[in-house]
Amino acid sequence: MIKQFYILFLIVLLSACGENEPYEDAPVAEDPLEETLEVDVALTLEIPDYFPDLTYDLSQNPPTQNGFVLGKKLFYDGRLASDGVVSCGFCHIQAFAFTHHTHITSHGVNGAIGKRNAQPLHNLAFMQEFTWDGAAGHLDAQPIIPITAEVEMNNTFNNIVTTLSQDPEYVEMFAAAFDNGQIDPDNILKALSQFMLMMVSADSKYDRFLRNDGTTLTSDETAGLGLFEAKCSSCHSGVLQTDQTYRNNGLSIDPEFNDIGRYRVTGQPSDSLKFKVPSLRNIEATFPYMHDGRIPDLEAVLDHYSDGIVDSPTLDPLLRNADGSLGIPLTEAEKAQIIAFLKTLTDDNFIFDDRFAEF
């Protein structure tokens, strides 16, 4: 029985790969940062000039190679969780632009299941708030939530500091990364931020097109870009495709989770059912979609926007049409073109960048 289940699982996995495999080849990334150096060196974020301004004040926590290498080790270390297994990287898998691809909502320690889908990690240095509802106002504070949440890593910073302090490798690495050399929550979070800040995804086909390096979009992609700008970009605005606001996009309430969204953060009934407008960078790789991962693929996402909007008092006004109908009118051909454009946002050089890889 178990064997059969496994085979079935494999088949599902294989067929899922066949359908959704977004990558053609695995490009070789340049100079992976792996070693702790005797003399630390500053790292530079490579940011295209058409990107938005940084929100993270790098002067408060300038990324260095040693900080980055330490942050990466912490990111992939299961000992940050109470069970010694569920690391940050457990739910944020690089190949899926750091999402938890095989799970709809995220899994935590002891088989606990969260109520939200892990968000991708990329271009975090440009975000004002973090998590689906904005419960973290600073990147250095965001990991506090998954590390301490019972259904995620269920740990305490006290425990983590004790564990890390007993590991000579960490003692050396903290000493090499920070002036005060302390293993403390501040430095743990700063190192994680240094690792995550470097995750700039800016080398998709769309980026190369924007940089005018001779890359051209196909006619479908071009048509899709035009449609996207006309019908999607009032929320998914700018080169990161997000205005960083919170909106109710007409999903029905799932009684299993009864997730009220940003209402939990602000206590304002007007924020009920609102979630962060996500960046669409690498969207092809980050299925399933929406805050609870209820939608399996991009076709279904666009079907939701064209025909699946559920009305509620906080529904985003942009999804209400003058004639009283709800949603964004889209033909099947238009949907296919928009998806063609969305796939130009996939950045293989980021997804396969060795600098961020676990192994």
Partner 1 sequence: MKKIFLLTFAVAALISCKSDDNQAAPGEVNLVFKNQVAGNDLILSSQTYTNASGESYRVNELKYIISDIVLIGSNGQEFVVPQSESYFVVNEADNGSKTLSIPEVEGRKYSKIRFGFGVDQSNYPLNGVNNFIPTAEETGMLWSWSAGYKFIKFEGDYDTDTSTDAPFIIHVGSHGTTLDNYKTIELDLSTDISVNDNTNNVNLIFDVARVFDAGLQSFSLQEKDDIQVDPVYAPIIASNISTAFSTE
Q: Which residues bind partner 1 (CB under 8 A)?
A: 60, 129-130, 134-138, 140-142, 144-145, 148-150, 156-158, 161, 184-186, 189, 264-268
| 269 within 8 A of 334, measured Cβ to Cβ | no
Output the six-digit token pair for 279.
């960046």
Q: Would you say the C-alpha torsion 207, 208, 213, 216 has a positive or negative sign?
A: negative
For residues 296 and 69, what is the distance between their CA atoms, to the nearest angstrom?
34
| 161 vs 357, beta carbon nearer partner 1 | 161
| 156 vs 321, beta carbon nearer partner 1 | 156
Helix, strand or coil, per DSSP, at residue 130 = strand
CB of 143 to partner 1, least distance (A): 8
Backbone angles phi, psi at 7, to 5 degrees: -60, -45
| 132 vs 305, beta carbon nearer partner 1 | 132
Angle at 190 between CA 187 and CA 194, to 5 degrees: 135
| 161 vs 210, beta carbon nearer partner 1 | 161
Cα Rg, the chain, nearest whole Å: 21
Output the six-digit token pair for 159.
């425990």
For residues 46 and 347, what is the distance between their CA atoms, to the nearest angstrom?
15
CB of 162 to partner 1, least distance (A): 10
| 51 vs 132, beta carbon nearer partner 1 | 132
| 282 within 8 A of 350, measured Cβ to Cβ | yes
Output the six-digit token pair for 245.
């606001």
CB of 82 to partner 1, least distance (A): 13
CB of 210 to partner 1, least distance (A): 31
| 248 vs 344, beta carbon nearer partner 1 | 248
CB of 67 to partner 1, least distance (A): 15
CB of 149 to partner 1, least distance (A): 6
